[in-house]
Amino acid sequence: MSHEKANSLESARARLAGTRGREFWRSLEELAGDPSFQEVLEREFPAGASEWGEGLDRRRFLQLAAASLAFAGLSACTRQPLESIVPYVRQPEEIVPGRPRLFATAMTLGGYASGLLVESHEGRPTKIEGNPEHPATQGATDVFAQALILGLYDPDRSQLVLEAGEISTWARFIARMSAALPALQANGGAGIRILTGTVTSPTLGEQIRALRTRFPKMGWVQYEPVSRDGARLGARLAFGVPVETRYDFAKADVVVSLDADFLVEGPASVRYARNFAANRRVRVGHERMIRLYAVESTPTATASLADHRLGVPPSEVPFLVWALAAEIGVTGVELPKALPEERARFIREAAADLQRNSGHGIVIPGDYAPAEVHVLAHAINERLGNVGTTVLRTDPVEVEPVDQVASLSTLVDDMRAGRVDLLAIVGENPVFDAPADLEFKEALLKVPLRLHLALEEDETSQYCHWHLPEAHPLEAWSDARAYDGTVTVMQPLIEPLYGGRSAHEFLSVFLDDPPRRGLEILREHWRLMAGREDFETLWRQSLHDGFVVGSVFGPRKFALRKPAAAEAVSAIRAAARDATAAAATAGGAPTDRFEIVFRPDPTIHDGRFANNGWLQELPKPLSKMTWDNAAYLAPAAARRLGVASGDLVAIEAGGRAIEAPAWILPGHPDGAVTVHFGYGRTACGRVGKGTGFDAYPLRSSAAMWSHPGGTIFKIPGRRDLACTQEHFAMEGRDLVRVGTIARFQKDPEFARKMEEAPGRDLNLYPGFNYEGHAWGVSIDLSVCTGCNACVVACVAENNIPVVGKDQVRRGREMHWLRVDRYYEGDSESPDAHMQPVMCMQCEQAPCEVVCPVGATSHSSEGLNDMVYNRCVGTRYCSNNCPYKVRRFNFLQYSDEKTPVLKLGRNPDVTVRSRGVMEKCTYCVQRINAARIAAEKEDRPIRDGEIKTACQQACPTQAIVFGDINDAQSRVARLKAEPANYGLMEHLNTRPRTTYLAKLRNPNPDLEPEKT
Amino acid sequence: MAQIFHRSTNTISRVSIYAAVFIAAGLAWVLMALDRSPYTTRQGIVLGQPVPFSHEHHVSGLGIDCRYCHTSVETSWFAGMPPTATCMNCHKLIWKDSDMLEPVRASLREGRPIVWTRVHDLPDFVYFDHSIHVAKGIGCASCHGRVDEMPLMRQSAPLQMEWCLDCHRHPERRVRPRDQVFDLAWQPVDQATLGARLVREYGIRSARDLTSCSTCHR
Amino acid sequence: MKRKPPRLYGLLAEFGSPQELVEAAEAARSSGYRRLDAFTPFPIERLSEALGHRPSKVPMLVLIGAILGALLGYGLQYWISAVSYPLNVGGRPYNSWPAFIPVTFELTILVAGVFTVLGMLALNGLPTPYHPVFNVPRFALASRDRYFLCVESKDTKFDEAATRVFLEGLRPSGVFDVEW
Amino acid sequence: MKDKPPLIAPGYTSATVTDKISAVVLRGTPRWWFAAFGAAFLLVMLFLFTLGHLFLKGVGIYGVNIPVGWGWDITNFVWWIGIGHAGTLISAILLLLRQEWRNSINRFAEAMTLFAVACAGVFPVVHLGRPWVMYWLFPYPSTMGVWPQFRSPLVWDVFAVSTYATISLLFWFVGLIPDLATLRDRSRNRFARIVYGMLAMGWRGSARHWHNYESAYLMLAGLATPLVVSVHSVVSFDFAVGIIPGWHSTIFPPYFVAGAIFSGFAMVLTLAIPLRALFGLEDFITDRHLQNMAKVMLATGLIVGYGYFIEIFMAWYGDNKYDMYMTVNRMLGPYAFQFWSLIACNVVVPQLLWIKRARRSPAFLFVIAIVVNIGMWLERYVIIVTSLHRDFLPSSWGMYSGTIWDYSTFIGTIGVFLALMFLFIRFLPMISIFEMRAILPEAKVEGGKE
């Protein structure tokens, strides 16, 4: 049967080959008429089964029958229940009841800090924004920062100190430790190991230094599953010393990305995205674009903006970099032989382009690329003279850069050898995410005393004597460095909800007697840093700003080791030789042999966000899948294996195997399969349990980010995946309008001409005219990376409920703002286009006309108001909405039972109940707040004063909100751009949200302009 | 065939047909009246409170300004409820051992807040902002009535949407000079001209703006 | 001058076929009786002619009802959408008359229909659960297959004896007193 | 009526007609009736149970989603309303057209109309997210100061359907009055006489009564005729006013009305054929009646078929890529099966009615009627679902399928319908007695004034 499926895909291939030019192809399987796709389509027919809930007995039957009759007697008279009002006993000076306040703080991911502003209502943090003053991140945020709030209120977070599974207390723990420490101290703490993640926090570093003075022989291990070992090692090999490299895309004209998702992932991504976008935006009068070449081993969101993309299996990447280095003329490197022409040409042109723009180019290697790639990248940038302008090298940001895999494996060896008496694991979950070959768990069990400080009771806590609840980043005092070295302050917004303590306070148990609280520890260390005199001013200033002014690392000169490049090349040769040797010995048909690419999950990262409903329900940027991970395959590969999306496959590598549902991802390089970490958690909260599969078992300390020789074969069974967008073709409709900059210069209005929009006079009725404000939004498709930050921001701002996998599969996700993704071109390497779609606030809204109760109507400023408490739920408005941006509460979605979740809700937005329609309102609560503020000061609302949640979060500033009646406003000027067009404008809906056509800047030598 | 019905049934049947019409109309009227009655709106009903606080005594008696207790009325959507400390500013000196005030003292002693029963309670899907109304010259009395004449606090307006709309459609009928906002006893001399003038001066928005749904609902 | 009310409501003659009844009715009328009524199991047009009924007033009532309905219908919608709470709905004007036509039409029909039925009942003096003619046992057959002619005592020309003789002359299958 | 078979078998007199029809009501209840009614009642309980579950859990128990916001619920609504058209049409239009053959079928056709409309009325309520505020669709002076939005076809529906229900009820009742009098006079049971007596309101069949009565009856017919046409037009506006490809179409009103009559007659046949057999009324509901109805079905069926064709033609001729895609998707997309089976049921199968022998065989007609009922349900399903599931933005395309709750609601309403129908035939004359008398030969009166 796999044969016929293969054939059907074959025919699809054939038909695809026929299409060319600007023709859009439809989602693969459907084109192939693949039966399994029909299955996906006919979503489980007897869906009702799940609705039965508790079993049906006589009483329930009568109860229901009675309810239906009682309903008949419902009367119009509704009387509000009495509510009480509870004032403070002593009101804090600075608090004005009802007025939200903003605090500057930060979160860390992979050790690196990003500056945040947190909105707090009467002491309850409700919304997170980027800290616009922060020199590193400049006010942009990623999905993780936006979702941090939900993590804070997560009712499944660990709430108890556990001693051997029994409930205990911090006091008890402290007592036990002070009892145990002297013994350990005797031999200089040789038996003590502390395992942390990557540490950039100066204070934490200081504490560890202090620990080392107290326990000279103790060991400090840094390990987290997603870290930048390649970069670290690369730097060492290239310079002999640890070096941090950062890039300035604002000055760049040509970028070559080597397996780097630099716009969406990594500590600096939001800043890179901002500068990159600033350099890619095209406006009349400013018509130059940065050009991006992307070489990648798995499709990335970044590459959806690439002008030229080359997908190759991971083992090929080093060769391409090698070739690039050779083309650039890096000394000691000559061209590798036997490079396929298509790839060679790509590299040649990229190299030429780089050389044309020497000093204004960037060659950026991915964090997960092997060290050799980093070495060569360093050499190339050096050779091109980019260093100092676009490529900046500084001292390492980490307190102590180490090869984390190496340091973890030494720890494991020590544990096995019984050299470890006490292991304190701080905030990490190695039992779940350590490389499988180390068999961390087994080693761990050999340690006499195991402590675990973590946010949740996870896989590791189960095997530790003590589990200690960690304080959430928003609950604790701390500091950390941003990717550029800026020292960033983290201050608590709320007392620990569940009695958690920070890493500082935890370490303090071993340092101080009695242990000190975070604030004290922090201030103490800072006093040392600052030097006595101006400490208080520095402290206040930094708390207010959220960072220490001028703590950014200045670029420094580092001498590149002459032989480094050559060594890297020979290393690549060696690696290739080993791989071929291994392949020769390895079993399995060569057709089943695949390279395996490992990546952190785009939404739940390495698994630490597995219990975050917002992130679980967030569609993955490329597959639009929610609540699951999958084995991403190239269409061709899937055809060979005879699998369709959802079919189970077994993936085997290094003697370990996992089962995973396959997912056909257009543009994925053939011969490789991508699996994402983070799913398959066995010990975590209610949200994350039972989602996806665990990919860590395939990972070995030798092959952290890709495995050269895995095998895949189809096994019986399917897994139903909840995907929010099942159709990826535009059907020849001009939804995302794409053009090259050349075309734009020839005909700036090309996008508008694609589909005629009726003139404003073409109307049966006289239209309304909007004096005063007229709100509108402009979205620049040229810079949208589809990173989803806007989506989570919207969820957080507007109390949007999580509905769960089952409801998503029924097509009932609630996101007001979604990012549509379309494909164009050949299925093996198509162009991907991202398009954020929220309510268009049509001036002639089809939804309003059909609402029988006037629950949705137009405000005097042209907003398409939605009045939840008037809605009766006919869903007619949604049926009649051409953009399908309306969302309906088919069941009671918003959680009214869990009290702690109520704390996190935005008090300025109604929490919708069952049976009502909802949708994007342009964050009308923010509009009203700004208007009230302005009117109280008798002044007009300033342009830019109101930012919608999505706009505020957007790293590339692709979304701009404002008053289109004010000709000077940013949005008005954007809408005046020739590339501006409205979605489905021919329906005469007059959308207030419009788009700027997506412009590309291909290298004419690689892609001659079509005519 | 014998008669089935008695003579009287002729009249009865005819009358009952017309009666039916009036009964139906009557019922509808009752429902509507009930919907607007104090039973539903709690208008003019005094609710039980932990402390029998008298606005009359404190406002007209002692002449305390509204803002002394409701501090945030000009700056926030929420007018603000006085913390226990505010009460005790005076009551640690006067009436300091009256039984009536025991709950207040207890609150301060034990740090337990006093739990009042809300008198003016809008549904949660309505977003009313005190500060902007005050800024636009809508007096406290316009919604809360002559609080200075209430020994015990009670709701004086129905607080139903049609009532809100009435003012949002005709702000000129209610608006007063900003400096008179907190004077509960203030009476206009010639509201017609004054209102028209103030609406202009204070830049109060048009009825079309003020009756847009999102003005109050989000 | 006032006469004491007569003993009877009237006299009722029974016939076997519509034909006979119609002829009897014509005869009675031509011989000067005016307060006549005939009872049949189904409508017979010629009977009304024979008894000289005027055209029914029902159609007039229907017209009145229709006009009222139409005014009510459009008025309601106009007042609600343009006067009471004007809202900008999808950019349509407050008084978007084309959209108001269906409801106007439906209300026209509704009110007209109600007028028709109530009008008919009123004009027929219904409901009348009690009526003297029901006192005649055989009258039950009026709803089956017998045809009756009734001369009411209110008729100026009515004289119990004479009228009975007259009715007998019409060869009915029987003549009955109709008690009050 | 030369070669045509008579409307009433020969040999009947006013007396026998009266006795035979009223006997059905006045004589004892047949056993099968209890069985049948009992079965229907069980379905009613299922219906109540489903509603209970719906009100406790929410409309999410149905299969609806985004983009397909309507599914079985509205499909059933339109289906029932359609069925509800035959009654009034037969009584009103055929009355105006002086089609005497209507006299023996109009009564229960009207009853059927009422019950069908009642069932239809259920769905606009249950499909709501918050059914308990359904009364907001009526204009009443609320404390919120807000009103229904009269530009919405759903509000038009509210008025159209409620008007239609009221007028049909009046029409039906007015028609019943003389027969109620008959029952009053014939029944031995005192209680029955009182009940029928009150309902008959003292009808005496006096010449004046008949005089006003006939004119009123004619007036009602005159009012009901445009009404019946308007109702399904308004229902069709629910879709035609929308902008979704496959909905936004000007031909909807006429072909919805035709479809309504089509399905209505189908349902009349579905009921009439077994009923006349059960009560041995072949003498009154003769094969000629069946044939006439068959002809009406054939005619309306052709109109409906034309509607399908012209819709496809316009999609091609209008050269609108969205309409074109929708049309192709209907015919070849995931719902192609439903589409082609509706074509088979509504266009192909009815063509058999061209054959005289087919029209003559009650059994055969019964089968065809059932098929048409199914076909018309499918038509609405296809119009609603296939149009919604792939509209403008491919990104938001989805699929729809009903859930067991959709099924149980639908079956439940069928139960309600049957239960009401059984009560009706048990307690009221299912054939208009006086109108039957009127078409007897003995009713003719010769001669007359010149």
Residues 6+ positions from A536 with CB-CB distance below 8 Å: none
Q: Would you list the DSSP string of A166-206?
A: EEE-HHHHHHHHHHHHHHHHHTTTTTEEEEES----HHHHH
What does the alpha-carbon distance between residue C9 and residue A63 come to, in Å, rounded to a whole number?
60
Query: pLDDT at position C4, please?
Result: 54
Write down the residue that tokens 């009734």 correspond to.
C150
Question: How do residues A369-386 score in pLDDT, each as one tens digit?
Answer: 999 999 999 999 999 999
Mean pLDDT computed over C86-110 = 94
- pLDDT tier at B1, thresholds 50, 70, 90: low
Residue D88 has pLDDT above 50, yes or no: yes
The pLDDT assigned to A140 comes to 87
Between chains, do C127 and B1 touch, taking CB under 8 Å as contact?
no
Name the closest residue on chain A to residue C91, using Cα atoms: A844
SS3 A711: strand
What is the distance between the alpha carbons of residues D72 and D410, in angstroms, rounded to a whole number? 8
Say yes or no to pLDDT of A42 above 50: no
Question: What is the per-residue pLDDT across D109-157, written as a single tens digit (0 to 9) for each?
Answer: 899 999 999 999 999 999 999 999 999 999 999 899 999 999 999 999 9
Nearest to D91 by CA among D35, D169, D18, D189: D169
Chains linked to A by 3 or more Cβ pairs within 8 Å: B, C, D
pLDDT of residue A58: 53
Please state, for a pLDDT cut of 70, what percent of chain A lies above it: 91
User: For chain A, what percent of residues have pLDDT higher than 90?
Assistant: 72
Cα→Cα distances B50→A86, A860, B99, B115, B152, Å: 12, 45, 12, 7, 12
Residue A444 has pLDDT above 50, yes or no: yes
| Whether residue A173 has pLDDT greater than 80 | yes
Q: Which two tokens stand for residue A744?
A: 């734009």
Phi then psi dihedrals of residue B87, to 5 deg: -60, -45
- Closest by CA position to D128, among listed A73, A875, A848, A918: A875
Cα separation, D264 vs D379, whole angstroms = 14
Mean per-residue pLDDT, A48-52: 35
Asked if D17 and D441 touch (Cβ cutoff 8 Å), the reply is: no
Assembly ipTM: 0.92
- Structure token digits, residue A319: 């060769």
Residue A750: predicted pLDDT: 92
Helix H, strand E, coil C: the string for chain D is: CCCCCCCCCCCCCHHHHHHHHHHHHHCCCCHHHHHHHHHHHHHHHHHHHHHHHHHHHCHHHCCCCCCCCCCHHHHHHHHHHHHCHHHHHHHHHHHHCCCHHHHHCHHHHHHHHHHHHHHHHHHHHHCCCCHHHHHHHCCCCCCCCCCCCCCCHHHHHHHHHHHHHHHHHHHHHHHHHHHHHHHHHHCCCHHHHHHHHHHHCCCCCEHHHHHHHHHHHHHHHHHHHHHHHHHHHHHHHHHHCCCCCCCCCCCHHHHHHHHHHHHHHHHHHHHHHHHHHHCCCCCCCCHHHHHHHHHHHHHHHHHHHHHHHHHHHHHHHHCCHHHHHHHHHHHHCCCHHHHHHHHHHHHHHHHHHHCHHHHHCHHHHHHHHHHHHHHHHHHHHHHHHHHHHCCCCHHHCCCCCCCHHHHHHHHHHHHHHHHHHHHHHHHCCCCCHHHHHHCCHHHCCCCCCC
pLDDT of residue A534: 80
| Predicted confidence (pLDDT) at residue A584 exceeds the cutoff of 80 | no
What are the backbone angles phi and psi of residue D168, rounded to the nearest 5°? Answer: -60, -40
What mean pLDDT is reported for chain C? Answer: 88
Q: What is the pLDDT of residue A95?
A: 81
Sign (positive/negative) of CA torsion A108, A109, A113, A117? negative
State both tokens at A691.
Answer: 């989602």
Burial A527-551 (b: 16+ CB within 10 A, else e): eeebeeeeeeebbeebeebbbbeeb
pLDDT of residue A420: 93
Range scoring the smallest mean pLDDT among A606-615, A888-897, A963-972, D441-450: D441-450
- Does pLDDT of D387 surpass 50? yes
pLDDT tens-digit series, residues D337-380: 999 999 999 999 999 999 988 888 999 999 999 999 999 999 99
Of A867, A936, A938, Cβ closest to residue B131: A936
Residues in C touching D215 (Cβ below 8 Å): 56, 58-59, 120
Q: Please indicate if any CB of chain D lies within 8 Å of the CB of C169.
A: no
- For the cut 90, the answer to whether the pLDDT of residue D438 exceeds it is no
Lowest model confidence (mean pLDDT) among A40-49, A297-306, C165-174: A40-49
Output the pLDDT for position D447: 53
pLDDT at A96: 84
Distance (Å) from the C-alpha of residue D415 to the closest C-alpha of chain A?
Answer: 15
Task: Return the pLDDT at A59.
Answer: 55
Under the banding of pLDDT at 50, 70 and 90, the label for residue A57 is low
Positive/negative CA dihedral, A927, A929, A931, A933: negative
Tell me what pLDDT residue D448 has.
45
Answer whether C165 touches B (CB < 8 Å). no
By the 8 A CB rule, do A354 and A384 touch?
Answer: yes
Amino acid letter for position A738: V
State the average pLDDT for chain A: 88
DSSP conformation letters of A687-709: TTTT-S---GGG-BTTBSSEEEE
pLDDT value of position B4: 82
A320, A348, A678, D376 from A341: Cα distances, Å: 12, 10, 38, 62
Under 8 Å between Cβ of D154 and D69: no
Nearest to D143 among B5, B28, B161 (CB): B161
Identify all chain D residues contacting B32, using CB atoms and an 8 Å cutoff: 140-141
Torsion sign, CA atoms D429, D435, D436, D442? positive
pLDDT at position D284, please? 85
pLDDT confidence of residue A75: 40
A799 pLDDT band, cuts 50/70/90, is very high
A960 within 8 A of A971, measured Cβ to Cβ: yes
SS3 A286: strand
Residue A60 pLDDT class (50, 70, 90 cuts): low
- What is the DSSP secondary structure assignment for residue A646, as one 8-state letter? T
Set of chain B residues whose Cβ sits within 8 Å of the Cβ of A80: 42, 121, 123
Q: Is B48 on the interface with A (CB under 8 A)?
A: no
When pLDDT is averaged across residues A405-432 and rounded to a whole number, the result is 94
Predicted confidence at residue A34, as pLDDT, reads 43
Whole-number average pLDDT of chain B: 91
Q: Residue D29 pLDDT > 90, yes or no?
A: no
Q: What is the pLDDT of residue A879?
A: 95
CB-CB contact of A146 with A152 (8 Å) = no
CA torsion, ordered D312, D318, D324, D330, to nearest 10 deg:
-20
CB D294 within 8 A of CB D365: yes
Confidence of residue A457 (pLDDT cuts 50, 70, 90): very high
pLDDT confidence band for C17 (50 / 70 / 90): confident
Distance from CA of A818 to the nearest CA of B (A): 20
Mean pLDDT in residue range A892-901: 88
**Cβ partners under 8 Å of residue A573, min gap 6:** none
Element (H, E) at A523: helix A518-530
Instruction: Using a pLDDT cut of 90, give the percent of chain D over it.
Output: 66
Q: Which region among A237-241, A708-712, C73-77, D72-76 has the lowest average model confidence (pLDDT)?
A: A708-712
pLDDT grade for A589, boundaries at 50, 70 and 90: low
Q: Which of A844, A851, A859 sits opposite C91 (nearest CB)?
A: A844
CA–CA separation, A819 vs A813, rounded Å?
13
Average pLDDT (D389-399) is 93
Residue A660 confidence (pLDDT) above 90: yes
Identify which of D141, D194, D198 has the shortest CB distance to residue B32: D141
Output A58 or A865, whichever has higher pLDDT.
Answer: A865
CA distances for A332 relative to A230, A235, A316, A335, A558, angstroms = 22, 18, 20, 10, 19
pLDDT band at A15 (very low <50, low <70, confident <90, very high): very low
Q: What residue of D is the nearest CA neighbor of A987?
A: D243
> What angle (nearest 5°) sits at the alpha carbon of residue D236, between those of residues D235 and D238?
70
Please say whether the beta carbons of C144 and D197 come within 8 A: no
Q: For the purposes of burial, counting CB atoms within 10 Å of the CB of A508, is it exposed (0-12), middle (13-18) or buried (19 or more)? A: buried
- Give pLDDT, residue A37: 37
CB A548 within 8 A of CB A482: no
- pTM comes to 0.91
Q: Binning pLDDT at 50, 70 and 90, where does residue A252 land?
A: very high
| Residue predicted with more confidence, A742 or A91 | A742
Using CB atoms, pick whichever of A764, A847, A858 lies closest to residue C88: A858
Q: How far, in Å, CA of D122 to CA of A137, rounded?
A: 57
- Chain D residues in contact with B20 by the CB 8 A cut-off are none
Residue of A115, A117, A124 whose CA lies nearest to A95: A124
A470 DSSP β-pair partners: A501
Q: How far apart are CA B206 and CA A970, in angstroms?
A: 27
Q: Which residues pair with A114 in a beta bridge?
A: A107
Q: Which residues of A635-659 are buried (b: 16+ CB within 10 A; e: fewer)?
A: bbbbbbbbbbbbbbbebbbbeeebe
Whole-number Cα distances in Å, A97 to A907, B78, B128, B148: 12, 6, 14, 24
Q: Is the minimum CB–CB distance between B103 and chain A shorter than 8 Å?
A: no
Do A598 and A314 meet the contact criterion of CB atoms below 8 Å apart? no
For residue A462, is pLDDT > 50? yes
